[in-house]
Amino acid sequence: MYQLHLNDLTIEQFLAEYWQKKPVVLKGGFANFQDPITPDELAGLAAEEEIESRIVARQGEQWLLETGPFEDYAQWGEQNWTLLVQAVDHWHLESAALIEPFRFIPNWRIDDLMISYSTPGGGVGPHLDQYDVFIIQGLGKRHWRVGMPDASLTSLCPHPRLLQVSPFVDCINVITEPGDILYIPPGCPHDGISVDASLNYSVGFRAPAQKDLLTGLADYLIENEIQGVRYTDQNRQLSANIGAITGQDLQQVRSLLQGLIDDPKLLASYFGSYITHAKHDLDATEPDPHYNADEIAEYLEEGSVLARLGGLRVCYIQEQEDSDIQLFINGMTIVLPSSAKRTVLQLSELTVLDQATAAEFAHDPEKLQLLTQLINLGYWYFIE
């Protein structure tokens, strides 16, 4: 278990002062930090077809970017390159534990864990991201500079797939050491250059843009064959100009569109499903053959422990305390009665169902039935 130390700040103070506002270095954020993964293990993940990885290298003034899978690193030499592997929490249980200390932010806002291995001089260059990130320093040291958002910065594109920014004024200039954490809000330019061979862990967040929300809504309407109400104009008057789309026409289009998102049921069902969809592949394997509920109860009573699949997104929406609960798991919706609230909290809050919790599931037929369904989807699995 990683224990987060926010220096002298409480989580409330961190949220009020820094979250989405100002970058900060949390020196020794994790005391006696132990890397959950080795560079060799990371390279092993980068060799997998279904795991997204890339190498960014600088050769003099020239930047190179190549996407994985990677088998061999000889061509990259000893310095000035970084290997970045996305969504490692989906594939590596020990690394996924690094997300847990940041769960003071709700599940739906958390995205994934990206891990980078850099050789001396390695980095992706000065850039900005659209998302909040906590960058944890593991092995080695890295020289980080971070600035405040600055509208005068211009985009640079030293490689067709690499977006950087023009030189920026820093407000943080630090050499991070194992266990140090850098918090960077969206839009803050930053640049990390590795001092020696180093590992960095980026806990990233999700903040959908209007475009994402609308495409997500459109996909939801299509998947669920929801046609919605159609445009009507019973009170049409004779038009002066047949080519014109009038302000009144547009007003009606606006109300039609707004009607969709003003429907609280539709909004909740769509958003819960949309936001719990994993962006990267999950490592879900359905057990073959499927378990039946009795078998599961037996394993649980024997003391088996269940883990939630790494990167599985679990959220819920309940309008009022006595209303039904929509439980969203990786885009799937399960409607449960309000009496299932404890089950919902257990599934959405715990990444491991320990023996005591597991026994509770084994002894309650409704809990057990739901758990059986989830285990048979490969979403929870036995670890002992």
The binding site for Co ion (CB under 5 A) comprises 129
- Minimum distance of ligand SIN from residue 30's CB (angstroms): 16
The answer to whether the CB of 103 falls within 8 A of the CB of 350 is no
DSSP labels, 94-126: HHHTTTGGGTTS-GGGEEEEEEEEE-TT----S
- Dist CA 228 CA 258 (whole Å): 12
Q: Which listed residue (18, 43, 80, 82) binds ligand SIN by CB under 6 A?
A: 82
Compare residues 84 and 344 and give the one whose CB is closer to ligand SIN: 84
Given 24, 43, 51, 124, the residue binding ligand SIN (CB under 6 A): 124
What are the DSSP E strand ranges found in the chain?
24-26, 53-59, 62-67, 81-85, 110-118, 133-137, 142-146, 155-159, 162-165, 172-176, 181-184, 190-194, 198-205, 306-308, 314-317, 325-329, 332-336, 352-353, 380-382
Name the one range near ligand SIN by CB under 6 A: 65-73, 95-103, 122-130, 334-342: 122-130
Kindly state the smallest distance separating residue 80's Cβ from ligand SIN, in Å.
Answer: 13
Q: Within the chain, what is the greatest distance between any pair of CA atoms?
A: 80
- What three-state secondary structure class fits 247? helix
| Least distance to Co ion, CB of residue 86, Å | 13
Q: Does 192 bind ligand SIN (CB under 6 A)?
A: yes
Please, what is the minimum distance in Å from the beta carbon of residue 82 to ligand SIN? Answer: 5
Per CB under 6 A, 119 contacts ligand SIN: no
Q: Which stretch binds ligand SIN (CB under 6 A): 121-129, 157-165, 286-294, 309-317?
A: 121-129
Cβ-contact 121, 80 below 8 angstroms = yes
Nearest-approach distance from CB 199 to ligand SIN, in angstroms: 9
For the beta carbon of residue 313, count every other beta carbon within 10 angstroms: 23
One of 92, 190, 308, 313 touching ligand SIN (CB under 6 A) = 190
Alpha-carbon distance 40 to 26, whole Å?
28
Residue 200 touches which of Co ion, ligand SIN, none (CB < 5 to 8 A by kind)? ligand SIN
Q: Are 53 and 68 in contact (CB under 8 A)?
A: yes
| Minimum CB–partner distance for residue 132 and ligand SIN (Å) | 11
CA distance 291 to 293: 7
**CB closer to ligand SIN out of 23 and 192:** 192
- The C-alpha angle 381, 382, 384, rounded to 5 degrees, equals 155
Is there binding between residue 129 and ligand SIN (CB under 6 A)? Answer: yes
Size of the site for ligand SIN (CB under 6 A): 10
Nearer to Co ion, 129 or 249 (CB): 129
Query: Which residue's entry shows tokens 């929406």?
Result: 317
Minimum distance of ligand SIN from residue 159's CB (angstroms): 15
**Cβ-closest residue to ligand SIN?**
116
Q: Which of 86, 137, 200, 269 binds ligand SIN (CB under 6 A)?
A: 200
Contacts of 222 (CB under 8 A, 6+ apart): none
Instruction: Tell which one of 80, 116, 119, 348 touches ligand SIN (CB under 6 A).
Output: 116
Q: How far is the CB of 201 from ligand SIN (least distance, A)?
A: 8
Region near ligand SIN per CB under 6 A, out of 25-33, 85-93, 123-131, 150-158 = 123-131
DSSP symbol at 187: T
Name the amino acid, one letter, at 224. Answer: N
Q: Which residues of 324-351 are buried (b: 16+ CB within 10 A; e: fewer)?
A: ebbbbbbeebbebeeebeebbebbbeeb
- Residues making contact with ligand SIN (CB under 6 A): 82, 116, 123-124, 129, 135, 190, 192, 200, 202
